[in-house]
């Protein structure tokens, strides 16, 4: 909670708010503000355990009892349950208050084991702190304490020690209210009450780490941090998570130059303090044995050998300068980089090298002009009450979990209506106001029908009442935000573009959040790591000071580059933290391209499957080791900060770019981060007035909104072949835990990746004659044939076969053909 | 020519007799024997020397790797890392044990704050200070050197001059704060430890003045279960 929620009064005559007296001082609270929050805002800390500003109050712990006179005499009341009323008199220091605090702490400590020296919370524990500050100092309890089995793993990531639990209801409330995974709960009664999971159901929530952070004692501890360090040998740096494009604010904790923990930081604009377990625990990857710590070149013998930077840079320059034409150089990736590094590489390649075959997306995103040209919403705008949100994209819980938490809160508590236009039912479940799950390829037609008001009949398996409900919401005049992303990698993005066009026709004021998954992909597009644009969305014909060799013609995207490589017309390919062999949705094309590529340069942090094929490997420093800036899906800038030094010879990406420029006889014009940021401010529209030092530190970071010199025009209809009667249309989407680089390099997360299972609607599975859980034969029109376990899932619409991307077992990318609008498959028992 | 002035001072003082008392602890003759004349001077009761890591009477390590000693150390000479006790071979009672324990004796000022901070009496100081090193790695004592041996006796390293009976001075003698936190508390109480059983700590100062100190390593072996407090 920041002071922004307390608008200072402009005119002294009509002072807003509720007058009340706190410890003898006349103060004002906001309308409906809880006493505990109002006191905190005015600098009076009322001790508490169960109260959490981002969750509903329950009054469980009684620690916040204070003496309140509401007009009928003073009594002890819990400050977390009490909205401030006019002329309330509150005393937080009176004798009855301190006696109540004494008593509550003595009671809480009766069964608390006091194993603080071995407890991970010891040293930063609210129970310790409050016992010191407000407790009696002595216990009168001499009897045996309550005993439970010491920590029991309730999931792969979280341990539960019930002896330490003070039954504050924070974890259970979080799981139920915030995450919507009510997997942890109170059981038994009275003195035997304990928190636990349901038998045989582990606490496998994507958000389980948050319960560890909000636990006021050491009852819930994180397995990756278990005994890794004590609070007093941690040092902290606030940064921004680069795991996905939400841009959650985080605090990086290190000990002995090792990242040991990441905590969520409460940012009003983005994550509200919550993190997904991936954002929280994937720091382990920095220590991975798969890290590339030294530059490497492929020796004559065909093996990658460690070399000096000079040599590796020289080989890179030879590969780039040796290409006969800038159009024969391709660059894939860049979403892993900080904004500054993205600009440096963009300037190196486009400004000095006239290369335009650059794409930060790997065929799994949206067209760059759509991402940059659509009017952007902020998360706050999307979540504002009385709004309508259209989810034209993936299951956000799987792809952008912290954004999902914000939207879920908006839908559950703030009256936001959600229209689900995802290819399958998402985690929003029954809380959606209208459920349209268009079959692959049909989203454009459905959106067009909504725009035309043709909602009287059911369409493509979507009942008329859902279409009518959606149409009514979209035409109700309520503000509309469309969250658009690739919910189906087996479907051409043209379908989404067509649907966006129809929605814009129906709701011209609609705003958009582009739910792209990769970390800093919005920054990459903004910095020009996409074909056809210079930084800031400027056209190639624009002139930028210091960019002497701008590209002449629009280059190729990732698919185009891979095809060019197959044709032999791409001589050099540079990977900027990209792994096309694993991430490009068409495995066959990527493999064929890698067979034919001339020289492959990889600037990477990990030895990925693509990097293993490289001729030159430049070792880059990764998140946690670099300073810079992040741009999230709103266009919001927030700082990324180094906490530990990069291993070995690894160095920030922008330095690598600057050295390549120098070795090639050019000059990027910066040798320090500050100079680089000034260069961005001078060259990129929208960044003129960014204060790089304070952006996102003193307040939520600024949202960069640059007017584009061009206007986005969208095509409304994309031709989709008709579905045949016996086939199913393939939906391929991402799970949070997949074999992506960060997850597979993190020791605690690796094991969470599941097996790929084909899911069908129960009716389809029955029609095919297969049983749930048995293997089926899956074949595509292009001839690929695989066996995979199939299961019935009522969340999958009829006519659809759903397969997650990049899990263990069957790789969905083997079934996808780039360029096909949809993929039809046949499933046989 | 400045160094001749220094020699001049030396020569002028030649034959004036020794004003400082030579401490001969650890001095060996040319045959490598410690001569009879080589006796250590008696040390004050509360002298602080080289540390030991104690064990419970069942052999379990007392250290739980809580890092309180490292946190309190003003010289920052202690480095501790905790780890989960292996289920099949627990090193200490409870969940956590000291996986890494290092004291850098080039930095240690023997202030004994680590001993006071230790919640399990795992680290105590002996009175041994007759040790010196010829390289840095010898000066960094790890768990291998600090932990008492299987008989509960401190390990005697080649560069340390242990004399008979000195290992009895390893613990059980001083603690400035009372375990209960009460300001009125006097004296110390100690749990059992390997090699010594339960020993008496210091008597309260007033009682000590009135009586002689009890025999350390005495009777009163109650079977301590090894649980930490």
pLDDT (0 to 100) of residue B227? 35
pTM greater than 0.95: no
Which DSSP helix (H) or strand (E) runs through A320?
helix A309-321
Average pLDDT, chain B: 78
pLDDT (0 to 100) of residue B179? 52
Q: Please check the confidence at residue B81 and state whether its pLDDT lies above 50.
A: yes
**Nearest CB to B71; choose among A115, A150, A232:** A232
Q: Please check the confidence at residue A8 and state whether its pLDDT lies above 60.
A: no
pLDDT (0 to 100) of residue A324? 87
Chain B positions in Cβ-Cβ contact with residue A118 (cut-off 8 Å): 64-66, 82, 94-96
pLDDT (0 to 100) of residue A15? 75
Strands (E), A172-264: 184-187, 194-197, 220-222, 235-240, 249-255, 258-264
Q: Please check the confidence at residue A440 and state whether its pLDDT lies above 50.
A: yes
Q: CATH says A296-365+521-683 is which class?
A: alpha beta
pLDDT (0 to 100) of residue B229? 35
Chain A positions in Cβ-Cβ contact with residue B64 (cut-off 8 Å): 117-118
Task: Name the residue among B168, B189, B169, B160 with its Cα closest to residue B177.
Answer: B189
pLDDT (0 to 100) of residue A701? 82
Q: Please check the confidence at residue A12 and state whether its pLDDT lies above 70.
A: no
- pLDDT band of residue A141 (cuts 50, 70, 90) is confident
Chain A positions in Cβ-Cβ contact with residue B78 (cut-off 8 Å): none
**Nearest CB to B95; choose among A118, A122, A233:** A118
Q: Please check the confidence at residue A548 and state whether its pLDDT lies above 60.
A: yes
In this chain, the answer to whether the domains covering A3-93 and A151-287 adopt an identical fold is no
Average pLDDT, chain A: 93
Q: At what angle do helices A673-683 and A339-346 cross, to 10 degrees?
A: 70
- In this prediction, residues A745-767 reach a mean pLDDT of 95
pLDDT in tens, B123-135: 988 888 888 889 9
CB B174 within 8 A of CB B188: yes
Interface list for chain B against chain A, based on CB atoms closer than 8 Å: 64-68, 70-71, 81-84, 94-96, 119-120, 181, 228
* Strand pairing report for A637-640 and A628-631: antiparallel
pLDDT (0 to 100) of residue A3? 41
pLDDT (0 to 100) of residue B225? 38
Pick A3-93's CATH classification: 3.10.20.740, 3.40.50.300, 3.30.450.90, 3.40.50.10600: 3.10.20.740
Residue scoring higher pLDDT (A648 or A694): A648
Name which of A631-640, B62-71, B168-177 the model is least confident about: B168-177
pLDDT in tens, A506-518: 999 999 999 999 9
CA distance A161 to chain B (A): 11
How many residues would you count in chain B? 229
- In this prediction, residues A74-91 reach a mean pLDDT of 96
| pLDDT-above-90 percentage for chain A | 87
Listed by start position, the domains of chain A span 3-93, 151-287, 296-365+521-683, 369-514, 728-828
* Strand pairing report for B140-141 and A194-197: unpaired
Sign of the alpha-carbon torsion through A668, A670, A674, A678? negative
**Number of C-beta neighbours around residue B211 at 10 A:** 8
- In this prediction, residues B40-58 reach a mean pLDDT of 85
pLDDT (0 to 100) of residue A698? 62
pLDDT in tens, A234-286: 999 999 999 999 999 999 999 999 999 999 999 999 999 999 999 999 999 99
Q: CATH says A369-514 is which class?
A: alpha beta
CA distance A118 to chain B (A): 6
Q: Please check the confidence at residue B8 and state whether its pLDDT lies above 90.
A: no
Q: CATH says A151-287 is which class?
A: alpha beta
Pick A728-828's CATH classification: 3.60.15.10, 3.40.50.300, 2.40.40.20, 3.10.105.10: 2.40.40.20
Q: Please check the confidence at residue A118 and state whether its pLDDT lies above 50.
A: yes
Minimum CA–CA partner of A115 in chain B: B229
Chain B positions in Cβ-Cβ contact with residue A117 (cut-off 8 Å): 64, 66, 68, 119-120, 228
Interface with chain B: mutation pick from A230, A233, A257, A258, highest number of B CBs within 10 Å: A230
pLDDT in tens, A177-228: 999 999 999 999 988 899 999 988 899 999 999 999 999 999 999 999 999 9
- In this prediction, residues A560-566 reach a mean pLDDT of 96
pLDDT in tens, B102-147: 999 999 999 989 988 998 889 988 888 888 889 999 999 999 999 9
Question: Which pair of structure tokens corresponds to residue A642?
Answer: 């180094």
Chain B positions in Cβ-Cβ contact with residue A150 (cut-off 8 Å): 94-95
Name which of A32-46, A153-167, A422-436, B201-215 the model is least confident about: B201-215
* Strand pairing report for B140-141 and A616-619: unpaired
Minimum CA–CA partner of A113 in chain B: B229
Give the C-alpha distances (Å, rounded to integers) separating B132 from A162, A560, B161. 49, 70, 10
pLDDT in tens, A350-371: 999 999 999 999 999 999 999 9
| pLDDT-above-70 percentage for chain B | 68
pLDDT (0 to 100) of residue B167? 82
**Nearest CB to A227; choose among B68, B82, B119:** B82
CA distance A137 to chain B (A): 9
Interface with chain A: mutation pick from B60, B76, B95, highest number of A CBs within 10 Å: B95
pLDDT (0 to 100) of residue B40? 77
Interface list for chain A against chain B, based on CB atoms closer than 8 Å: 115, 117-118, 122-123, 137-138, 150-151, 226-227, 229-230, 232-233
Residue scoring higher pLDDT (A531 or B11): A531
């Amino acid at each position: 909670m920041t002071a922004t929620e307390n608008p200072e009064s402009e005119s002294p005559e009509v002072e807003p708010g509720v007058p009340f007296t706190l410890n003898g001082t006349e103060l004002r609270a906001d309308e409906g503000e809880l006493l505990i929050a109002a006191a905190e805002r005015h600098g009076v800390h009322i001790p508490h355990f169960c109260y959490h500003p981002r969750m509903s109050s329950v009054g469980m712990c009684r620690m916040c009892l204070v003496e309140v006179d509401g007009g009928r005499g003073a009594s002890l009341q819990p400050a977390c349950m009490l909205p401030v009323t006019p002329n309330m008199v509150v005393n937080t220091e009176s004798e009855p208050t301190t006696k109540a605090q004494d008593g509550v702490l003595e009671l809480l400590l009766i069964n608390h084991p006091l194993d603080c020296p071995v407890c991970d919370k010891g040293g930063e524990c609210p129970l310790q702190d409050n016992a010191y500050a407000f407790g009696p100092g002595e216990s009168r309890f001499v009897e045996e304490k309550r005993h439970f089995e010491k920590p029991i793993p309730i999931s792969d990531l979280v341990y539960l020690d019930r002896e330490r639990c003070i039954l504050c209801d924070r974890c259970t409330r979080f799981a139920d209210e915030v995450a919507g995974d009510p997997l942890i709960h109170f059981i038994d009664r009275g003195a035997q009450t304990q928190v636990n999971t349901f038998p045989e159901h582990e606490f496998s929530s994507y958000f389980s780490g948050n319960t560890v952070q909000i636990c006021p004692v050491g009852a819930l501890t994180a397995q990756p941090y278990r005994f890794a360090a004590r609070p007093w040998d941690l040092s902290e740096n606030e940064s921004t998570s680069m795991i996905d494009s939400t841009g959650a604010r985080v605090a990086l904790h290190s000990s002995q130059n090792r990242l040991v923990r990441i905590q969520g930081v409460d940012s009003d604009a983005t994550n509200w303090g919550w993190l997904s377990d991936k954002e929280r625990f994937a720091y382990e990857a920095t220590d991975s044995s798969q890290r590339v710590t030294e530059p490497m070149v492929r020796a004559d013998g065909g093996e990658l050998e460690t070399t000096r930077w000079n040599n590796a840079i020289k080989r890179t320059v030879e590969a780039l300068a040796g290409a006969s034409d800038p159009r024969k150089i391709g660059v894939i990736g860049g979403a892993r980089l900080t904004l500054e590094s993205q600009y440096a590489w963009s300037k190196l390649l486009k400004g000095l090298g006239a290369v335009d075959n650059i794409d930060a997306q790997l065929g799994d995103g949206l067209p760059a002009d759509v991402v940059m040209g659509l009017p952007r919403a902020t998360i706050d705008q999307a979540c504002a009450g009385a709004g309508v949100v259209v989810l034209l994209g993936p299951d956000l819980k799987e792809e952008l979990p912290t954004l999902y938490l914000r939207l879920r809160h908006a839908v559950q508590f703030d009256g936001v209506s959600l229209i689900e236009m995802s290819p399958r039912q998402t985690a929003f479940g029954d809380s959606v106001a209208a459920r349209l799950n268009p079959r692959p390829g049909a989203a454009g037609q459905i959106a067009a029908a909504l725009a035309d008001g043709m909602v009287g009949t059911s369409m493509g398996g979507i009942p008329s009442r859902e279409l009518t409900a959606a149409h009514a919401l979209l035409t109700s005049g309520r503000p509309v935000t469309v969250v658009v992303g690739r919910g189906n990698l087996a479907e051409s993005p043209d379908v989404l573009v067509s649907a966006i066009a129809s929605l814009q026709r129906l709701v011209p004021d609609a705003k958009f959040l582009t739910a792209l998954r990769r970390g800093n992909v919005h920054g990459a597009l903004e910095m020009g790591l996409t074909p056809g644009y210079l930084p800031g969305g400027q056209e190639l014909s624009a002139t930028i000071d210091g960019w002497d060799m701008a590209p002449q013609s629009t280059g190729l995207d990732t698919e185009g580059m891979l095809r060019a490589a197959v044709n032999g017309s791409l001589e050099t390919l540079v990977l900027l933290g990209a792994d096309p062999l694993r991430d490009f949705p068409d495995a066959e094309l990527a493999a064929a391209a890698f067979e034919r590529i001339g020289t492959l340069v990889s600037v990477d942090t990990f030895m990925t499957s693509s990097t293993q094929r490289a001729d030159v490997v430049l070792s880059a420093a990764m998140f946690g080791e670099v300073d810079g800036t992040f741009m999230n899906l709103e266009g919001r800038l927030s700082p990324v900060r180094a906490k530990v030094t990069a291993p070995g010879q690894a160095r920030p990406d922008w330095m690598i770019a600057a050295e390549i420029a120098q070795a090639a006889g050019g000059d990027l014009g910066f040798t320090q981060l500050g100079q680089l940021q000034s260069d961005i401010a001078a060259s990129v529209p929208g960044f003129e007035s960014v204060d790089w030092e304070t952006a996102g530190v003193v307040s939520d970071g600024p949202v960069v909104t640059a007017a584009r010199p061009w206007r986005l025009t969208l095509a409304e209809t994309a031709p989709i072949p008709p579905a045949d009667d016996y086939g199913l249309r393939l939906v391929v989407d991402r799970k949070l835990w997949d074999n992506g680089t960060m997850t597979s390099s993190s020791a605690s997360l690796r094991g969470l990746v599941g097996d790929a299972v084909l899911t069908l609607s129960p009716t389809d599975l029955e029609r095919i004659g297969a049983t749930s859980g048995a293997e089926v034969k899956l074949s595509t029109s292009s001839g690929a044939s695989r066996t995979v376990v199939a299961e019935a899932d009522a969340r999958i619409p009829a006519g659809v076969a759903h397969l997650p991307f990049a899990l263990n077992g069957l790789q969905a990318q083997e079934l996808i053909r780039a360029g096909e609008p949809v993929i039809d498959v046949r499933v046989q028992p | 020519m400045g160094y001749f002035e220094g020699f001049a001072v030396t020569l002028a003082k030649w034959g004036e007799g020794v004003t400082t008392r030579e401490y001969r602890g650890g001095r060996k003759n040319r045959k490598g024997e410690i001569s009879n004349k080589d006796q250590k001077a008696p040390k004050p009761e509360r002298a602080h020397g080289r540390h030991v890591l104690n064990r419970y009477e069942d052999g379990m390590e007392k250290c739980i790797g809580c890092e309180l000693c490292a946190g309190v150390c003003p010289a920052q000479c202690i480095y501790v890392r905790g780890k989960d006790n292996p289920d099949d071979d627990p090193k200490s009672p409870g969940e956590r044990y000291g996986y890494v324990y290092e004291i850098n004796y080039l930095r240690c000022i023997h202030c004994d704050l680590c001993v006071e901070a230790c919640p399990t009496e795992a680290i105590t100081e002996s009175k041994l200070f007759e040790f010196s090193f010829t390289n840095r790695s010898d000066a960094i004592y790890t768990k291998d050197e600090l932990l008492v041996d299987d008989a509960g006796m401190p390990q005697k390293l080649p560069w340390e001059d242990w004399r008979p009976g000195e290992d009895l001075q390893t613990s059980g003698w001083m603690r400035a704060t009372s375990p209960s936190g009460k300001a009125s508390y006097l004296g110390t109480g100690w749990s059992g430890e390997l090699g010594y059983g339960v020993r008496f700590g210091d008597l309260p100062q007033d009682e000590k003045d009135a009586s002689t100190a009890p025999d350390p390593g005495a009777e009163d072996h109650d079977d301590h279960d090894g649980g930490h407090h």
